[in-house]
Amino acid sequence: MTDTPQITDSHCHLDFPNLVDDLDGVVARAVAAGVTRMVTICTRLRNEPSVRSIAEAHAPVFYAAGTHPMSAAEEPMATVADLTALARHPKFVGIGETGLDYHYTADSKAAQQESLLVHIEAARRTGLPLIIHARDADDDMARILTAEHRAGAFTCVMHCFSSGRALAEATLDLGFYLSMSGIAAFPKSQELRDCFAAAPVDRILVETDAPYLAPPPYRGKRNEPAFTVYTARVGAEIFGMDYAAFAARTQANFERLFNKVTSYEAAA
């Protein structure tokens, strides 16, 4: 038994080329750093079998699947039936990532919104948390999530949250969670750190979004789940907590939201 505080990388992409070729090493380094769970995200449903196989082959890895908003116009539209069928797998623990991204793909906003509504309904029906990607779409995102939650409750995490205070407040008001990535550790991200500091600590998760967005001291290099520790240490500073206490808090938060993980572990 190790004394290293345990944390979870709540969002990574282990099927991406610069990680999948070193999976055993990536997972081993994560576990050695105290990152004892990873949720790997499938962003195109046609890739779900390969993402599922990663979760099946590695005990600490769970997975989620959906259509990334930047791919919504070029991929077949997901259906609620597609997503609810995938959710029967014991290690399938979340719906998405889905959402809205108007930074590069504003021309597909209609398809993105249609796809988002499908994923929301799947989250309602399965009881699994919705995993949201939001970029340059704060007003539409707040409007849709608020209206849909009013129409029928669901749980949700705002993955890699880097939007403004208004969207943070709107989603927190719905009972949702904010996930902190390496962006929060960048020197010029003080406004984002202030945004997190204003949130309840019991609504915070940590992630890497690996292989992207490595935190210092690895910024600009390939990210991997072991580096969750560096973002979590910044999170501890933001909330004025020691690292072990913050790690334990984010573990409890993750287990509350992704409760299928703890059910799976209890039965294993």
- What are 150-168's pLDDT values in tens digits? 999 999 999 999 999 999 9
Dihedral pair phi/psi, residue 125, rounded to 5°: -70, -35
**pLDDT mean over 191-200:** 98
Contact 92, 61 (CB under 8 A): no
Q: Which amino acid is at 14?
A: L
Q: What pLDDT is stored for residue 1 in this prediction?
A: 41
CB neighbourhood size of 151 (10 A): 11
Confidence band, pLDDT 50/70/90 cuts, at residue 268: confident
Q: What pLDDT is stored for residue 248 in this prediction?
A: 98
Distance from C-alpha of 147 to C-alpha of 258, rounded to nearest angstrom: 23
Residue-range domains of the chain with CATH: 7-267 (3.20.20.140)
Q: What pLDDT is stored for residue 2 in this prediction?
A: 57
Residue 253 has pLDDT above 80, yes or no: yes
Closest CA to 176 of 264, 80, 95, 253: 253
- The DSSP result for 24-72, as a single string, is HHHHHHHHHHTEEEEEEEESSGGGHHHHHHHHHH-TTEEEEE---GGGT
